[in-house]
Chains A and B, each alone.
Chain A
Amino acid sequence: MNKQPKAVALISGGLDSLLAAKVMQEQGVHVEGINFFTGFCVEGHTHAIRKKDRARPKRNNALWVAEQLGIKLHIIDVSQPYKDVVINPKHGYGANLNPCLDCKGFMVKNALDWAEANGFDFIITGEVVGQRPMSQRRDTMPVVQRESGAGDRLVRPLCAKLLPPTLPEREGWIDRERLYDFSGRSRKPQMELAARFGFEDYAQPAGGCCFLTDQAYSVKLADLWQARGERDYEIDDIMLLKVGRHLRPRPNFKLIIGREEGENNFLEGYRRQFAHLRTLSHVGPLVLVDGRADEADLTLAARLTARYSKGRDAERVSVEVNTLDGERRTLEVAPLPSEEIPRDWIL
């Protein structure tokens, strides 16, 4: 190849993808980054919603990585097509509702489509053999190559020496000898390489940056599917699973209870889509009702709303109930005692 080879790097914002892209830059490859927004990304949303988290400085790690590398970053919204990965994973789930192997194949496939549309020659990932129990094993790495369609245009610079030579290596676009043979769950080789490149302050997400690897989140998503009788979701659904305390007192409805001012403000944006309650006599949460609630259900919801307000120890609390058809009324209720809230209501 006479021209400079061009590669698109999957940039998660973590250390491995940062290093993989840097290794390729060191070999003279023109690298640009691609980052996929699935709707399940952890850091940005909770930070934006919860007021107490806003005191911490916030950065988008994928953009930070791109700045360290001096590369362009293309952030792609794949939240709609990604639904099929979450709902129908061909290779199943990991420990929670994380479809990691299907996810990796999906992302590499999308990166391949982008590379072909933009005149790029190959794809880089920060994968390391044996690092993740599902998607980064020696036997699953060829699965990603095959199912994504990327084949030997997929280069994993951090463990390439442990894998068969790829097209860019065979063609001499890159030098196999200057690639790496990292394997296993130890982070030491990556940290040493980071130090050699002079990278500091990089993100070290435990368990990745995806809510689907989180047990508590997965329980709420499974509950949503069970309650609706189908495995489907809208983007608003998965956003709301990140916010508030979720209680399902009855199979036909659940409550989403704001835990602090930031969450209450966020839930305010959903008032037109949900019946909702708020306390009038005491400071308290905004509560959304997800599902169909009858009169008895709304009374129970009002007592729970009172329970999670500053009036939890009062005899009576005034709760405003707003139904979906626009009716507004006030109920005077006794807060539900905590001993009358079974543990299995709390998702």
Chain B
Amino acid sequence: MSHHELDARRLLCPMPVIRVQERVGELAPGEVLAVRCTDPGVVNDVPAWCRVNGHRVLDIAHDEDNNEILITIEVGRDG
């Protein structure tokens, strides 16, 4: 399974979602994208975008200082 990364730090919503959307559009179903973010709004917005567009959030992790958020997404078949 290919693993890809996206740096969306310092972007404010909805820009992280837009970047995720662009990147996911380039990936094949089953591929995994890990997104690094700083806007806390991504915790709601990225999973919501994944739900409506048929992708799956595998994990949401915060770093120790609670400054960075790492969201891991599996690209869906219907995306």
Residue numbers of A with Cβ under 8 A of B are 35, 37, 41, 44-45, 47-49, 54, 57-60, 63-64, 66-67, 70-77, 239, 269
Contacts and interface: CB of A to CB of B under 8 A. Distances in A.
Contacts of B52: 63, 66-67, 70-73
Interface residues of B, number: 19
B75 to A, nearest CB: 14
Given A45-B12, A47-B41, A60-B13, A75 B48 contact: no
A60 B51 contact: no
A36 to B, nearest CB: 10
B18 A59 contact: no
Interface of B: 10, 12-15, 17-18, 21, 39-41, 44-45, 48-49, 51-54
Given A48-B39, A60-B48, A63-B45, A73 B53 contact: yes
Contact of A44 (B13, B21, B53): B13
A63 B17 CA distance: 10
A47 B45 CA distance: 13
The interface centre, meaning the residue of B13, B18, B44 with most chain A CB atoms within 10 A of its CB, is B13
A64 B47 CA distance: 11
B45 A72 contact: no
A74 B49 CA distance: 9
Contacts of A45: 12-13
Contacts of A70: 52
B20 to A, nearest CB: 10
Contact of A37 (B18, B40, B44): B18
A246 to B, nearest CB: 19
A48 B69 CA distance: 14
What is the interface of chain B mostly: helix, strand, loop, or mixed?
helix
Contacts of A37: 14-15, 18
Nearest to A64: B48
Contact of B14 (A41, A54, A66): A41
Given A60-B44, A64-B48, A74 B21 contact: yes
Nearest to B78: A72
A203 to B, nearest CB: 14
Given A72-B53, A75-B18, A59 B48 contact: yes
B78 to A, nearest CB: 9
A44 B44 contact: no
Contacts of A72: 52-54
Nearest to A73: B52
Contact of B41 (A35, A58, A66, A71): A58
A31 to B, nearest CB: 12
Contacts of A47: 41
Contacts of B54: 72
Given A44-B12, A72-B54, 9 more contacts: A44-B13, A48-B13, A59-B45, A59-B48, A60-B48, A67-B48, A71-B52, A73-B53, A75-B17
B40 A60 contact: no
A239 B15 CA distance: 12
Contacts of A63: 17, 45, 48-49, 52
Contacts of A57: 44
A319 B44 CA distance: 39
A282 to B, nearest CB: 25
Nearest 10 CB-CB pairings of A with B: A44-B13, A63-B48, A66-B52, A48-B39, A60-B45, A48-B12, A45-B12, A77-B18, A72-B53, A48-B41
Contacts of A75: 14, 17-18, 21, 49
